[in-house]
Amino acid sequence: MKIQIYNTLTHSKEEFKPINKEEIRIYSCGPTVYSYAHIGNFRTYVFVDSLRRVFKYNGYNLKHVMNITDVGHLTSDADTGEDKMEKAAKKEGKNPYEIAEFYTKAFMEDMIKLNIDMPNIISKATDNIDEMLEMVKKIIENGYAYETSKGIYFDVSKLDKYPVLSNNKVEGQEAGARIEVDPEKKNPYDFAIWIKAPENHMMKWDSPWGKSYPGWHLECSAISEKFLGKHFDIHTGGVDHIPIHHENEIAQSKGANGIIPANYWMHCEFLLVDGGKMSKSLGNVYTLKELKEKGIEPLAYKLFCFSSHYRNKLNFTFDGVKASQVSLNRLRDGYLKHKNGNANIEENKINEYEQKFHEAINDDLNMPLALSVVWEVIRETDKSKEYAKLIEKFDTVLGLYLKNSEKYIKIDLEIPENVKELLEERKKARQEKNWAKSDEIRDKIKELGYAVKDTANGMEIEKVQ
Ligand code: AMP
Ligand code: ZN
């Protein structure tokens, strides 16, 4: 069956045609590991997980590479501001490598909790400094970059076309509007590929231009080329990558190798909170750990992501994820009923459902539609092991561990509202280091029949038998 995917490069849904049908090569922009990844970040990685699983469902082998950004991502996505890693290091009194190690581990743990299929290769930016330097040299040799007092800049006027992904002007990069105009730059959209390090900069390497460090966009161009070659199938990221990061990656690969590195550029829309941006400064950033404290499993958040197509914005609300938790429990229950059923089902019926599910996932990963097919099977009144098997097959794409339903169903997640409110109050008390109040609330919760445990992953709650 054909696979259709939306390609930001052509602004249209296209039939996927592999470069080499024996192996699909995919590159995904990875996290910047300066703090815990939030659930918005994970919406993008859940999308990548679905992409991988859909290709596997269609019988393809994959070579999938993801980077870990542990240097060079400045507080603005363009080339102004402080390095996010160094900023976090100063704040936490650690060195940037310790920060990177800690948050990379936390990121991987969350990926596992979401049952996200891991890329074949995960590579840190700091492990690819030589490759990045080589690329800078090549770009200069080809006449696409120049040196200023701040670093090496890519000259976008040398390209036949810039930008190529965004339709018109480069959003957020209007010179003088959101970024300062640098008088040394030849064109306002020129960007740093290599940055000269100020004296007190912690992460820096020897280079022909003195102690310096790579620009953020360069790592993805160099790492994708190292592991996937100059030309591969699919490149993924969130929509925020379209106007700057991916434009600049394309520019660099054209400057070094003369070609756009990937045939298909796929972008996941944003997770919003209360209709607006999820941002640390607004205090509306949530992590999986915080959801867990409210009785919401990571897999329920994954199911929540499937409630909207990846190219549509998705508004996060607690009521929304709570509803997904209830749905997940119902899915598990429904699957188990089929597993224990003995009805005989006509092969035709199974094939019809399979066809509908397959068509949905192959239509640009239409997970909401695919999920509606899963529910149709769940609701079948004839309970049958054949349906259970079909759901297991569908779950190779959903990745919700439905096979383990028995284990999960035993956990009673219906915590009463008054207990949830007390948990919130206790969380606040603990943040304020008011231990007396925290203990007092714990006792109140106990009187209501629940025991609270403080673990490395935050508060955990269980019903007292
Ligand atoms: P970062 O760690 O900032 O480099 O981001 C990691 C990934 O999360 C990137 O692919 C971003 O595009 C993506 N991302 C950031 N915020 C959101 C959001 N609110 N919703 C969906 N994806 C996001
Ligand atoms: Zn990238």
User: Is the confidence at residue 324, as pLDDT, over 70?
Assistant: yes
222 and 312 together in one domain: no
CA of 298 to the centre of ligand 2 (A): 25
CA of 44 to the centre of ligand 1 (A): 6
- Counting from 1 in the atom list of ligand 1, the atom nearest the Cα of 240 is 12
**In this prediction, what percent of the chain has a pLDDT beyond 90?**
74
138 and 32 together in one domain: yes
Q: Does the beta carbon of 72 lie inside 6 Å of ligand 1?
A: no
Mean pLDDT of the chain: 91
Q: Which ligand is nearest to the CA of 43?
A: 1
43 and 115 together in one domain: yes
Domains contained in the chain, number: 3
What CATH code is carried by the domain that includes residue 248? 3.40.50.620
Q: Whose CA is nearest to atom 3 of ligand 1?
A: 32
Of 462, 437, 433, nearest in space to 450 by CA? 462
User: Is the confidence at residue 410, as pLDDT, over 90?
Assistant: no
In a domain, 408, yes or no: no
22 and 98 together in one domain: yes
Q: Does the beta carbon of 29 lie inside 6 Å of ligand 1?
A: yes
Q: What is the pLDDT of residue 177?
A: 44
What sign does the dihedral 139-141-146-147 (CA atoms) show? positive
In degrees, rounded to 5, the angle at the alpha carbon of residue 257 between the alpha carbons of residues 253 and 259 is 70
Query: Domain end: 268, 292, 307, which one?
Result: 268
In a domain, 389, yes or no: yes
Of 202, 213, 204, nearest in space to 90 by CA? 202
Instruction: Tell me, rounded to whole angstroms, the distance of Cα 208 from its chain centroid.
Output: 35
In degrees, rounded to 5, the angle at the alpha carbon of residue 104 between the alpha carbons of residues 25 and 458 is 130
In a domain, 275, yes or no: no
Please choose from 240, 249, 312 the residue to mutate so as to test ligand 1's pocket, defined by most ligand atoms within 8 A of CB: 240
Q: Mean pLDDT across the stretch 430-440?
A: 90
Q: Does the beta carbon of 278 lie inside 6 Å of ligand 1?
A: yes
Q: What is the pLDDT of residue 172?
A: 47
88 and 191 together in one domain: yes
Interatomic CA distance for residues 55 and 30, integer angstroms: 20
Please choose from 8, 28, 41 the residue to mutate so as to test ligand 1's pocket, defined by most ligand atoms within 8 A of CB: 41
| Cis-peptide, bond into residue 298, ω within 30° of zero | no
Do the bridges between strand 145-147 and strand 121-124 make them parallel or antiparallel, or are there none, so unpaired? unpaired
- Per-residue tokens: 240: 């925020």
103 and 237 together in one domain: yes
Instruction: Give residues with Cβ within 8 angstroms of 291, minimum separation 6.
Output: 39, 297, 298, 300, 301, 321
Question: What are the tens digits of pLDDT across the range 269-307?
Answer: 999 998 887 876 677 899 999 999 999 999 999 999 999
Query: Domain end: 234, 268, 302, which one?
Result: 268
138 and 227 together in one domain: yes
180 and 133 together in one domain: yes
CA of 319 to the centre of ligand 2 (A): 33
263 and 231 together in one domain: yes
In a domain, 412, yes or no: no
User: Is the confidence at residue 202, as pLDDT, over 90?
Assistant: no
Question: What are the tens digits of pLDDT across the range 120-163?
Answer: 999 999 999 999 999 999 999 999 999 999 999 999 999 999 99
In a domain, 273, yes or no: no
Number of other CB atoms surrounding residue 202 within 10 Å: 15
190 and 309 together in one domain: no
Interatomic CA distance for residues 38 and 304, integer angstroms: 15
Q: Does the beta carbon of 240 lie inside 6 Å of ligand 1?
A: yes
Of 258, 259, 217, nearest in space to 237 by CA? 217
Q: Where do runs of H (alpha helix) occur along 114-152?
A: 129-141
Q: What is the pLDDT of residue 178?
A: 45
In a domain, 276, yes or no: no
Question: What are the tens digits of pLDDT across the range 36-84?
Answer: 999 999 999 999 999 999 999 999 999 999 999 988 787 776 677 788 8
292 and 244 together in one domain: no
In a domain, 434, yes or no: yes
Q: What is the pLDDT of residue 175?
A: 43
What CATH code is carried by the domain that includes residue 340? 1.10.730.10
Q: Does the beta carbon of 185 lie inside 6 Å of ligand 1?
A: no
Q: Does the beta carbon of 31 lie inside 6 Å of ligand 1?
A: yes
438 and 315 together in one domain: no
Q: Which ligand is nearest to the CA of 84?
A: 1
Query: Domain end: 403, 425, 448, which one?
Result: 403
Residue 360 — pLDDT band, cuts 50, 70, 90? very high
In a domain, 410, yes or no: no
Q: What is the pLDDT of residue 464?
A: 72
Q: Does the beta carbon of 70 lie inside 6 Å of ligand 1?
A: no
Q: Whose CA is nearest to atom 11 of ligand 1?
A: 238
Domain of 19, in residue numbers: 4-268
Regarding predicted confidence, which is higher, 301 or 415? 301
Residue 413 — pLDDT band, cuts 50, 70, 90? low
